[in-house]
Amino acid sequence: MKRIPITRDSDRCSACILSDICLPIGMSRQDVALLDEFVQERVRISKGKVLFGLGDTVEAIYGLRSGAMKTQLQDAGGQVQITGFVLPGEIIGMDGMGNTTHVSQAVALEDSEVCVVRVEDIDQISPSLPVLQQQFRRLMGMEINRSHQMVMTLGTLRSEQRVATFLLNISSRLATLGYSSRNFILRMSREEIGNYLGLTLETVSRLFSRFARENLIYIKQRDVTILDKEALQELAGVSCD
């Protein structure tokens, strides 16, 4: 990892293009300016490298500025279960805030950069920035909802519904970032998607091919174009508008 100090000439939270979806969402300009003083460092992580590991002490939470990451669990036998994928503007590292140690591992899917918000600074700034506690409650709520959605996906949906829901979820999150909701690149491999969804690599590949034959999507390697969003939603059994 490469640590990069934030200087006066660096982009701050108040000027970041991701501020409308990252930690400062909904904050006044005055509050965001105060937050600027406490975000003093960024970290660059090369593809495949770990930002934090299972059992590491929680020193900070991180806002993903660029790239993509995955969170995963690993048992004593080395078996890995991917628990989520993180896109720019999203927060990572909230998993250990309740017990001071991380309960998952964060790995870069590609070269990535995160903004660092240290826990000791959060404790220091909170009394003068009450809205920050509201932000953390919002983020914790999002984490809980994400966990519930994953349990529902793995427990109740058929394999084709899982893959359709996954594509629609990525599409929706990219739209929030201001990117195309119909044309995008999957930053994760088919094997990683299968691991996350509780499916085999072969099943994911077979379903992608089926969706392409049925003109729901066009896919070439990791490049995806959603051709019929409504049909994909019907297949998933949910409304994603």
Q: What is the CATH number of the domain that holds 41?
A: 2.60.120.10
Position 69 in a domain: yes
Position 80 in a domain: yes
15 and 121 within one domain = yes
203 and 121 within one domain = no
| Domain end (from 130, 146, 177) | 130
Question: What pLDDT digit, counting tens, does each position of 173-194 carry?
Answer: 899 888 899 999 999 999 999 9
pLDDT at 240 (0 to 100): 44
pLDDT at 96 (0 to 100): 75
- Positions of E strands within 13-56: 41-45, 50-52
Report the range out of 4-13, 82-91, 196-205 with the highest average pLDDT: 196-205
Could you please report the per-residue DSSP string of 10-67?
S--GGG-TTTTTSTTTT--HHHHHHHHTT--EEEEE-TT-EEE-TT-B--EEEEEEES
pLDDT at 77 (0 to 100): 85
| Domain end (from 90, 114, 130) | 130
Pairing of strands 223-226, 41-45: unpaired
- What percent of the chain is modeled with pLDDT above 70? 85
Cβ atoms of residues 66 and 18 within 8 Å: no
Of residues 147 and 53, more confidence is placed in 53
172 and 119 within one domain = no
Position 146 in a domain: no
Mean pLDDT, the chain, whole residue set: 85
**Whole-number Cα distances in Å, 199 to 9, 69, 163:** 47, 20, 9
Letter string b/e over residues 116-154, b meaning 16 or more CB atoms within 10 A of that residue's CB? bbebebbeebeeebeebeebbeebeeeeeeeeeeeeebe
3-state secondary structure of 150: helix
Position 147 in a domain: no
CA distance linking residue 29 with residue 6, whole number of Å: 19
For the chain, give the number of residues: 241
| Domain end (from 113, 130, 147) | 130
Of residues 98 and 59, more confidence is placed in 59
pLDDT at 4 (0 to 100): 76
The token pair at 216 is: 């729901």
Report the range out of 4-8, 18-22, 229-233 with the highest average pLDDT: 229-233
CA distance linking residue 209 with residue 167, whole number of Å: 14
Q: Give residue 21's pLDDT band: very low, low, confident or very high (50, 70, 90).
A: low
* Domain containing residue 90: 2-130
CA distance linking residue 103 with residue 92, whole number of Å: 12
pLDDT at 241 (0 to 100): 42
CA distance linking residue 132 with residue 72, whole number of Å: 27
Position 142 in a domain: no
Lowest-pLDDT choice from 72-81, 101-110, 200-209: 72-81
**Whole-number Cα distances in Å, 86 to 35, 143, 144:** 22, 12, 15
Cβ atoms of residues 55 and 101 within 8 Å: yes
Position 187 in a domain: yes
Position 148 in a domain: no
Q: What is the CATH number of the domain that holds 232?
A: 1.10.10.10
Q: Is the pLDDT of residue 132 over 50?
A: yes
CA distance linking residue 103 with residue 84, whole number of Å: 13
Instruction: Please state the rounded mean pLDDT for residues 152-171.
Output: 88
pLDDT at 22 (0 to 100): 74
